[in-house]
Amino acid sequence: MTVPTRDPRSADDEVTAGPAPIRWLSGPSLRLHAALAAGLALAGGATWLEWTRAQEGHAIAWVYTFEWPLFAVLGIYLWWRLLHAEQKAQRPARATETGTAEQDPGLLAWQAYLARLHEVDPPGGPESRR
């Protein structure tokens, strides 16, 4: 009697590698941290300045009082996205039930259009000019 053996490369045993860890103290990350700190300091100072101006009676300063914190929130969002950009780039394509990667119908139509154009008029111009 033979005992069925499992293939060591079986899909059940595969360990999918997770996203690469964020290197918080790498050179590019430190530059992002410094830019965030400078931007938050600038937004905080500008908010305080506009708040004091608004209290003194400058009506337009009220708009800027609430605008600078929004810039700070935008800066935090961009900082977070830039730190995690490498992780998003390493994600595998979603697979359909058939196991093939999903294709964008618009992209497929564009590629077919380019293929037809290259059949009629190949890139590089006519043969006589090459």
pLDDT tens string 103-114: 888 999 999 999
Which pLDDT tens digit goes with each residue over 90-105? 666 565 555 455 788 8
Spans in the chain with pLDDT lower than 50:
11-15, 99
| 95: Cβ contacts below 8 Å, ≥ 6 apart | 101, 102
pTM beyond cutoff 0.75: no
pLDDT at res. 13:
46
Q: Could you tell me which residues are beta bridge partners of residue 101?
A: 95
What pLDDT is attached to residue 53?
A: 95
pLDDT at 14: 47
pLDDT of amino acid 47: 95
* Dist. CA 127–CA 115, nearest whole Å: 18
CA dihedral 65, 69, 70, 75 (to 10 degrees): 140
